[in-house]
Chains A and B, each alone.
Chain A
């Protein structure tokens, strides 16, 4: 998968007739990352996380988002980046992946950007820590290098790693 459906749906024409991606940018370790804005349900402050036993390290546990139990994953651990204590800037980014809510810890939420798809390099040659399957590409915007994540693939990867089947398309909560 290169571009998720949601991204395609959300691409809108710019003046030059080009597709524009609307993304939410966040910081993780030294890099800037971004995800499709339509997949982001909300960003919340760090709250108490209830651990789930028998899970790999990057699975921090579950949180309660207005009555829905949502798993929290640590992208730093997932992408084998150096770990860091949560601080005032740390946030939980809640994403809706095909009807299932999952959430990720990010170091800091930056801004929302619009980027033309021509500015996205889908197969960058740069050396990266993270799995290339997990990215849509690297976007260049005013001297910023932004790694655009494909959350569907990230979720699939997480799922296969913790040894479960593909989640059903509807409802991951009770």
Chain B
């Protein structure tokens, strides 16, 4: 593969993600299978199929990427699955164990790839074990398959050539049963001869290695599909639509084989396609065809294997082809009706051409049909085709061949063109008639899309020119005008039986229409999820966070406007005051003026002034009253509210995209519990609840390890061994449970067991021994604090250290992981009843509810999650213990800290303060009181990371931008509690 490293990396990433999912599925199904086998029940075929498919997909992709170890291992595992699926092998506990082992190795290979981009893990051991299992079983399969009836026995194992040949032996026997096959004996000898020839068979195929790898991947899929559908059809003969599928698959196999140049597969596929073609034509199946078709596909599989390992073909298929052809002729003759004859004849002709050595007509047909495909038509070509259709023309796809021996090729071409043009329109032709010259020595294949109103007989006779063979002459279905490129394969196969329909009409209810619709349906299901680079989502998340900030700024603007609105109201009040005073003034003035009525000149001037003043005042009143500031502010307020609604919707939406069910993490524990229980010889079952609870992908990813620790602990240490349990009067079988649920903005995850429980006294003693705590500390500790000692680094409760848990790491890892996603963890336990670990984790990491407080000149945000309460305390209630300020809070001593001392932020001098505001924060174990200057309130804040420069700052986890644009640092309660110790 010529891939750039980046491309490869991208593809590997996809591959890993996909394969991990597949592995998960396989593990699940294996677990189910195991319990079914244990109970002596049958494992459903669907499950086996699912496992097989998953393994197969992994293999396919891996081989495309050249991951040899993954391919090697998956191939072996797949082989077992396939044999089990085909009932060639018993599904035993041993087999399941070996499969588990195989897929574990595969998982570590995937991890290798993830970490180092290399396949490091050794697969030898695992492959050997699988092989041993396969070989150990290889003796038995025939016997067991015979009892299971013909269906199974017609499916020979396809793993290795030896087995394949062995499986071919039943073939002659089956042939005897076919009434159509006249001389079974002869057949038998022929085949064994063919087998002998195989040893020295030299293929005529000229394999194009460039496409081989890709082809093999495709071929494998096709073989698998074909097998599955053929089985299905055999089970239920009425499913004639399956014939279409089978035909299509075989056609694809044939076509691609042509491109790559594997003649053997091409001719086999051709013969098989012919048989299926008859079935399709007749809309029925033939009882005996299944044996032959299964045989055919098995040989193709064999060829596939040989191509895969040696890039060559080591098998002669001529004999089988002959057999298939023979059968094909028999079924045509048996049922042929005159009107279908020419199609069949055409098929025969084509197949005759096929068997001629050195000819690759079908391959050429495929190539040419691509160039003349209607879906590839240019706009103009399409237009003229549509016009012709409207005029009532019929459309034909014609393939003709000018014989290689013909000396006057250009003349023949000219003649053909003349004839065709007389009767209709040549829409598309490849190659062009003009390009044909006499110098061309080989036969020339010409594909034509032709439109005509004439009867097809007439057209056909016009084509009968000496030295020219008519290979095929097909009426085209009109849906072609709206077809997609993929459709062409099936479309060219619709013969006379399809009726013309509206040009450009949507999918019609013809066979093809249904088929396409069905296909479209499946493909739409396939793409219902898409993988998105998580960085892109992070970016969106950030942007939606921005939106929240902008909204807050708008809200602030509204407040500001409202303030100025109050000012404006004041202005209006003053204005009306002025008006009143003015009225009084003018009234008074006029009265005085009329009293001493002689000063006219002055009067006039005063009147003028008063009028002007009055009109100005009126104008001012009018504009002020008219200005609808209040209304505008109201609108702004409303707009801000809807902006807020929108932004929070967007935020929720973006958050939703990051959400994934916790199932992925949970289900893997079924396997882990099973393995551990087996190892420590306990009976333990795992109960899972709420696995569809969704939470942020980042958190889901970080939950795997802590949960593994807890589950291990529960099984290994928590659950007693069966005897002890029985002695205690408990049920033999221990239960570990894993629950998830939503609680507001948090998700609660619970890991519990019904085991022996935790003993606080024992824990304290153990911690003392390990030097985690001092003796005098024990007395002061509450039961809860003692329990919480298990989270201390270096603590392990197990009296005996087993290989599983108790490695000194464990619960402290759990604690730090949970803390790193802003979560808290709590223990509840009762001796002999069980233990429960409760984890509370925020749904998302990007937005949190926080309490905004002021300390010194700055605003800080404290995650509300860690705030237990807010208290006011008076100076005289504070007393000092060991130099630490302490207050009494409901029978407990609560130490008070100043952030200035703990994390060195600039604070205020509080020595004169009579009353202190204290925020009580908790990290799940202990709590302390933090003195603050004032409280602003609760707010939803967007967490922004501080610059990389500040990763070492203690007590601060990030920053947030508040509504007014200022930055509030987000305090880290856990670190503050730690620092204050």
Chain A residue at minimum C-beta to C-beta distance from B966: A48
Indicate if A122 sits at the interface (CB-CB under 8 A).
Answer: no
Q: From known contacts A50-B966, A63-B967, A69-B959, infer whether A162 and B952 are also in contact, taking CB-CB under 8 Å.
A: yes
Q: In the bound complex, what is the Cα–Cα distance between A168 and B944 (angstroms)?
A: 16
Q: From known contacts A64-B965, A174-B943, infer whether A51 and B858 are also in contact, taking CB-CB under 8 Å.
A: yes
Q: Are B952 and A67 touching (Cβ within 8 A)? A: no
Q: In the bound complex, what is the Cα–Cα distance between A53 and B898 (angstroms)?
A: 14
Q: In the bound complex, what is the Cα–Cα distance between A100 and B946 (angstroms)?
A: 11
Q: Are A53 and B944 touching (Cβ within 8 A)? A: no
Stretch at the interface among A6-14, A54-62, A78-86, A134-142: A54-62
Chain A residue at minimum C-beta to C-beta distance from B949: A71
Q: Are B944 and A52 touching (Cβ within 8 A)? A: no
Q: From known contacts A59-B949, A164-B949, infer whether A67 and B956 are also in contact, taking CB-CB under 8 Å.
A: no
Q: From known contacts A64-B965, A67-B549, A162-B952, infer whether A50 and B903 are also in contact, taking CB-CB under 8 Å.
A: no
Q: Are B858 and A54 touching (Cβ within 8 A)? A: no
Q: Are A62 and B967 touching (Cβ within 8 A)? A: yes
- Contact partner of B945 (CB less than 8 A), chosen from A70, A101, A102, A173, is A173
Task: List residues 145-174 of chain A with CB under 8 A from any CB of chain B.
Answer: 158-159, 162-165, 167-168, 172-174
Chain B residue at minimum C-beta to C-beta distance from A68: B944
Q: Are B947 and A158 touching (Cβ within 8 A)? A: no
Q: In the bound complex, what is the Cα–Cα distance between A111 and B823 (angstroms)?
A: 52
Q: Are B944 and A69 touching (Cβ within 8 A)? A: yes
Distance (whole angstroms) from the CB of B533 to the closest CB of chain A: 13
* Chain B residues whose CB sits within 8 angstroms of the CB of A102 once the complex forms: 947, 949
Distance (whole angstroms) from the CB of B963 to the closest CB of chain A: 12
Q: In the bound complex, what is the Cα–Cα distance between A53 and B957 (angstroms)?
A: 12
Q: Are B906 and A51 touching (Cβ within 8 A)? A: yes
Q: In the bound complex, what is the Cα–Cα distance between A161 and B951 (angstroms)?
A: 13
Distance (whole angstroms) from the CB of A105 to the closest CB of chain B: 16
Task: List residues 97-128 of chain A with CB under 8 A from any CB of chain B.
Answer: 100-102
Q: From known contacts A64-B961, A64-B966, infer whether A174 and B858 are also in contact, taking CB-CB under 8 Å.
A: no
* Chain B residues whose CB sits within 8 angstroms of the CB of A164 once the complex forms: 948-952
Distance (whole angstroms) from the CB of B965 to the closest CB of chain A: 6
Q: Are B948 and A52 touching (Cβ within 8 A)? A: no
Q: Are B947 and A172 touching (Cβ within 8 A)? A: yes
- Contact partner of B954 (CB less than 8 A), chosen from A51, A54, A101, A162, is A54
* Chain B residues whose CB sits within 8 angstroms of the CB of A64 once the complex forms: 961, 965-967
Q: In the bound complex, what is the Cα–Cα distance between A159 and B252 (angstroms)?
A: 62
* Chain B residues whose CB sits within 8 angstroms of the CB of A159 once the complex forms: 948-949
- Contact partner of B950 (CB less than 8 A), chosen from A48, A55, A168, is A55
Q: Are A158 and B949 touching (Cβ within 8 A)? A: yes
Indicate if B905 sits at the interface (CB-CB under 8 A).
Answer: yes
Indicate if B546 sits at the interface (CB-CB under 8 A).
Answer: yes
* Chain A residues whose CB sits within 8 angstroms of the CB of B955 once the complex forms: 53
* Chain A residues whose CB sits within 8 angstroms of the CB of B139 once the complex forms: none
Q: From known contacts A50-B967, A53-B904, A174-B943, infer whether A167 and B961 are also in contact, taking CB-CB under 8 Å.
A: no
Indicate if B622 sits at the interface (CB-CB under 8 A).
Answer: no
* Chain A residues whose CB sits within 8 angstroms of the CB of B903 once the complex forms: 53-54
Q: Are A69 and B546 touching (Cβ within 8 A)? A: no
Chain B residue at minimum C-beta to C-beta distance from A155: B949
Distance (whole angstroms) from the CB of A12 to the closest CB of chain B: 31
Q: Are B946 and A62 touching (Cβ within 8 A)? A: yes
Task: List residues 926-955 of chain B with CB under 8 A from any CB of chain A.
Answer: 943-955
* Residues of B within 8 A of A (CB-CB), count: 31
Q: In the bound complex, what is the Cα–Cα distance between A165 and B947 (angstroms)?
A: 12
* Chain B residues whose CB sits within 8 angstroms of the CB of A100 once the complex forms: 947-948
Q: In the bound complex, what is the Cα–Cα distance between A129 and B969 (angstroms)?
A: 34
- Contact partner of A50 (CB less than 8 A), chosen from B904, B945, B959, is B959
* Chain B residues whose CB sits within 8 angstroms of the CB of A53 once the complex forms: 903-906, 953, 955-956
Indicate if B277 sits at the interface (CB-CB under 8 A).
Answer: no
Q: Are A54 and B949 touching (Cβ within 8 A)? A: no
Chain A residue at minimum C-beta to C-beta distance from B955: A53
Q: In the bound complex, what is the Cα–Cα distance between A163 and B945 (angstroms)?
A: 17
Q: In the bound complex, what is the Cα–Cα distance between A89 and B757 (angstroms)?
A: 69
Q: In the bound complex, what is the Cα–Cα distance between A63 and B967 (angstroms)?
A: 7
* Chain B residues whose CB sits within 8 angstroms of the CB of A174 once the complex forms: 542, 943-946, 958
* Chain A residues whose CB sits within 8 angstroms of the CB of B961 once the complex forms: 64, 67, 69
Q: Are A71 and B549 touching (Cβ within 8 A)? A: no
Q: In the bound complex, what is the Cα–Cα distance between A38 and B959 (angstroms)?
A: 28
Q: Are B949 and A50 touching (Cβ within 8 A)? A: no
Q: From known contacts A71-B947, A168-B948, infer whether A55 and B858 are also in contact, taking CB-CB under 8 Å.
A: no
* Chain A residues whose CB sits within 8 angstroms of the CB of B906 once the complex forms: 51, 53
Q: From known contacts A63-B967, A174-B943, infer whether A52 and B549 are also in contact, taking CB-CB under 8 Å.
A: no
Q: Are B967 and A173 touching (Cβ within 8 A)? A: no
Q: From known contacts A67-B546, A69-B967, infer whether A52 and B945 are also in contact, taking CB-CB under 8 Å.
A: no
* Chain A residues whose CB sits within 8 angstroms of the CB of B967 once the complex forms: 50, 62-64, 69
* Chain B residues whose CB sits within 8 angstroms of the CB of A63 once the complex forms: 967
Chain A residue at minimum C-beta to C-beta distance from B946: A69
Q: In the bound complex, what is the Cα–Cα distance between A166 and B943 (angstroms)?
A: 23
Task: List residues 22-67 of chain A with CB under 8 A from any CB of chain B.
Answer: 48, 50-55, 59, 62-64, 67
Q: In the bound complex, what is the Cα–Cα distance between A8 and B214 (angstroms)?
A: 45
Q: In the bound complex, what is the Cα–Cα distance between A52 and B944 (angstroms)?
A: 14
* Chain A residues whose CB sits within 8 angstroms of the CB of B969 once the complex forms: 50, 52
Q: In the bound complex, what is the Cα–Cα distance between A100 and B945 (angstroms)?
A: 12
Distance (whole angstroms) from the CB of A47 to the closest CB of chain B: 9
Q: In the bound complex, what is the Cα–Cα distance between A69 and B960 (angstroms)?
A: 9
Q: Are B950 and A71 touching (Cβ within 8 A)? A: yes
- Contact partner of A55 (CB less than 8 A), chosen from B953, B965, B968, is B953
Q: In the bound complex, what is the Cα–Cα distance between A62 and B946 (angstroms)?
A: 8
Q: Are B953 and A52 touching (Cβ within 8 A)? A: yes
Distance (whole angstroms) from the CB of B970 to the closest CB of chain A: 11
* Chain A residues whose CB sits within 8 angstroms of the CB of B958 once the complex forms: 174
Give per-residue flags for B897-910: 1 if the beta carbon is below 8 A from chain A beta carbons, else 0.
00000011110000
Q: Are A54 and B549 touching (Cβ within 8 A)? A: no
* Chain A residues whose CB sits within 8 angstroms of the CB of B959 once the complex forms: 50, 62, 69
With a 10 A CB-CB cut-off, give which of A53, A67, A70, A168 has the most chain B CB atoms.
A53
Distance (whole angstroms) from the CB of B434 to the closest CB of chain A: 56
Q: In the bound complex, what is the Cα–Cα distance between A172 and B542 (angstroms)?
A: 13
Chain B residue at minimum C-beta to C-beta distance from A162: B949
* Chain A residues whose CB sits within 8 angstroms of the CB of B904 once the complex forms: 53-54
Q: From known contacts A50-B969, A52-B956, A64-B966, infer whether A172 and B948 are also in contact, taking CB-CB under 8 Å.
A: yes
With a 10 A CB-CB cut-off, give which of A50, A102, A167 has the most chain B CB atoms.
A50
* Chain A residues whose CB sits within 8 angstroms of the CB of B949 once the complex forms: 59, 71, 102, 158-159, 162, 164, 167, 172
A-B contact pairs, 17 of them (CB 8 A): A50-B858, A51-B906, A52-B953, A53-B955, A54-B904, A62-B959, A64-B966, A67-B961, A68-B944, A69-B944, A69-B961, A71-B947, A102-B949, A164-B950, A172-B947, A174-B542, A174-B958
- 14 extra A-B contacts, CB within 8 A, seeds A50-B969, A54-B954: A53-B955, A62-B946, A64-B961, A64-B965, A67-B944, A67-B961, A68-B944, A69-B945, A101-B947, A158-B949, A172-B949, A173-B944, A174-B542, A174-B958
For the complex of A and B, the 4 pairs showing the least CB-CB separation, nearest first, are A174-B945, A174-B944, A167-B948, A50-B967
